[in-house]
Amino acid sequence: MASGARDLMKSKLTSRLITCITWLFLLVLLVSCTNRGSGPSIPEAQVIRISGSDTMLILTRLWAEEYMKSNVRASVYVEGGGTASGVKDLIRSKNDVCAASRPLRPREVQQLAQHHNTVGLTFAVAKEALSVYVHPENPIQDLTLQQLKSIFTGKIKNWSAVGGWDAPIFVITRSPNSGTYFYFREHILNEEPYSSAARIFPSTQSIVEAVSRSPYAIGYGGVAYGPSLHCRVNGVAPTYATIIDDSYPITRYLYLVTASSPKGATKDFIDWVLSPDGQLLVDKAGYVPLWSP
Residues 46, 75 contacting (CB under 8 angstroms): yes
Residues 174, 206 contacting (CB under 8 angstroms): no
Report the amino acid identity of residue 103.
P
Helix (H) or strand (E) holding 171: strand 170-174
| pLDDT (tens digit per residue) in 73-119 | 999 999 999 999 999 999 999 999 999 999 999 999 999 999 999 99
Annotate 15-30 with three-state secondary structure: HHHHHHHHHHHHHHHH
What's the CA gap between 219 and 65, in Å, rounded?
Answer: 29
Structural domains of the chain, with CATH = 46-127+253-284 (3.40.190.10), 129-251 (3.40.190.10)
Dihedral sign, CA of 111, 113, 119, 120? Answer: negative
- Model confidence band, residue 291 (pLDDT cutoffs 50, 70, 90): confident
| pLDDT (tens digit per residue) in 226-257 | 999 999 999 999 999 999 999 999 999 999 99
Strand partners, 232: 142
Residues 122, 109 contacting (CB under 8 angstroms): no
Closest CA to 178 of 201, 151, 152, 209: 201
What's the CA gap between 80 and 27, in Å, rounded?
Answer: 53
SS3 for 199?
strand
For residue 242, what are the contacts with CB-CB under 8 A and spacing of at least 6?
129, 236, 248
Average pLDDT, rounded, for the chain: 87
Residues 129, 251 contacting (CB under 8 angstroms): yes
| pLDDT (tens digit per residue) in 123-173 | 999 999 999 999 999 999 999 999 999 999 999 999 999 999 999 999 999
Q: What is the DSSP letter of 26?
A: H
- pTM given for the model: 0.78
